[in-house]
Amino acid sequence: MSAAASANIDKRIETLGDWRGETLARVRKLIHDADPEIVEEWKWRGVPVWEHDGIVCTGETYKQVVKLTFARGAALPDAKKLFNASLDGNVRRAIDIPEGGKLNEAAFKALIRAAVAANKEALAERAAKKKKR
């Protein structure tokens, strides 16, 4: 885990000081619970990013929502229909959590684990293609 990135995420949560910070802190904990090997990064001038063999998801904060964008979301199973934003994209999918919004924590953790598995699979496929050359 990048100590600087984690410190920046801590600072963002503290600076927000409202429901958005609380929501970001809660989903951050769920992400780490789902995958203890996840790595925190700080990209694009202030976006928390969680990675494991590639980007799993980002955690953006807006006035009305905390947005969790999954890099390979369109390819992930979403039986509990957590994805509620960016549904028309070919690759990404997002979960918008408004103030007071509830999140099915078990389904969210399953989504994190599925995203990590998808990243590992894509990494293995890229390695296999390189080997064939």
pLDDT for 9 beyond 70 = yes
Q: Is the pLDDT of residue 1 over 70?
A: no
Cβ atoms of 122 and 51 within 8 Å: the answer is: no
Q: What is the reported pTM?
A: 0.92
How confident is the model over 13-26, as pLDDT tens digits?
999 999 999 999 99
As a whole number of angstroms, the distance between CA 31 and CA 109 comes to 7
What is the average per-residue pLDDT within 62-80?
96
The domains of the chain, with CATH numbers, are 3-132 (3.90.1150.200)
Total Cβ atoms within 10 A of residue 63? 6
